[in-house]
């Protein structure tokens, strides 16, 4: 059973009414057809975060290595110059890796994009799938009461 609605609030209200009617939550689905049309793909998110992490790692490695070199030249650290550069580089790389990942993950996450979305959503669908026909009959009655744009039952 699928009901197509034009409003997220109406879809949420329908889901609440279905649950009140006794429809098992596991049998109810909210389908957003605007998802996956190029925007917000998990592959794109992974690539964005990956680039930020790599940039942070390389930048931190260089800055940390140069800082280690400068500190060794300015202060007698009682370690050899290569060891000071290596220690600075490793520390800088760790800080850069974390900073790059944290900075980009927040903005690439689907939750952040959803909370910042300002344009209107398209139609949403609420689906009920269950092997017991009486559950689907009850869902159909509840869905029809919400006056959806379209109502479709697959088994008929």
Domain total for the chain? 2
The contacts found for 13-21 with CB under 8 angstroms, 24 or more apart, are 13/146, 14/126, 14/142, 14/143, 14/146, 14/148, 15/126, 17/142, 17/145, 17/146, 18/126, 18/128, 18/139, 18/142, 18/143, 21/138, 21/139, 21/141, 21/142
Whole-number pLDDT of residue 17? 92
Inter-residue contact 5 to 11 (CB < 8 Å): yes
The verdict on 86 and 103 lying in the same domain is: yes
Greatest distance between any 2 Cα atoms in the chain = 84
The pTM of this model reads 0.47
Assess whether 84 and 108 both reside in one domain.
yes
Cα–Cα nearest to 155, from 1, 25, 21: 1
126 shares a domain with 107:
no
Note whether 67 and 105 are same-domain residues.
yes
Question: Do residues 95 and 139 share a domain?
Answer: no
Residues 83, 110 share a domain: yes
Domain match, 105 and 51 both: yes
Please give the residue range of the domain that contains residue 59. Answer: 42-116
What are the per-10-residue average pLDDT scores of the chain (156 residues)?
87 89 88 58 55 79 85 76 83 80 60 51 83 89 92 79
Residues 105 and 127 in one domain: no
Kindly give, in sequence order, each residue whose CB lies less than 8 Å from that of residue 131, ignoring residues fewer than 6 positions away: none
- Residue 106: the pLDDT is 56
Contacts of residue 118, defined as CB under 8 A and 6 or more positions apart, other chains included, come to none
Domain check: are 141 and 110 in the same one?
Answer: no
One domain, residues 10 and 74: no
Are residues 112 and 55 both part of a single domain?
A: yes
Same domain, 125 and 101: no
């Amino acid at each position: 059973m699928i009901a197509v609605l034009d409003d997220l609030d109406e879809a949420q209200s329908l889901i609440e009414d279905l649950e009140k009617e006794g429809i098992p939550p596991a049998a109810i689905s909210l389908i957003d057809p605007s998802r996956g049309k190029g925007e917000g793909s998990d592959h794109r998110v992974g690539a964005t975060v990956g680039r930020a992490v790599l940039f942070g790692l390389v930048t931190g490695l260089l800055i940390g290595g140069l800082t280690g070199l400068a500190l060794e030249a300015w202060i007698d650290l009682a370690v050899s110059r290569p060891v000071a550069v290596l220690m600075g580089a490793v520390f800088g790389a760790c800080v850069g890796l974390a900073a790059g990942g944290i900075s980009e993950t927040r903005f690439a996450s689907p939750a952040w994009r959803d909370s910042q979305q300002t344009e209107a959503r398209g139609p949403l669908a609420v689906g009920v799938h269950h092997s017991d026909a009486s559950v689907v009959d009850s869902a159909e009655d509840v869905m029809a009461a919400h006056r959806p744009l379209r109502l479709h039952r697959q088994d008929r």
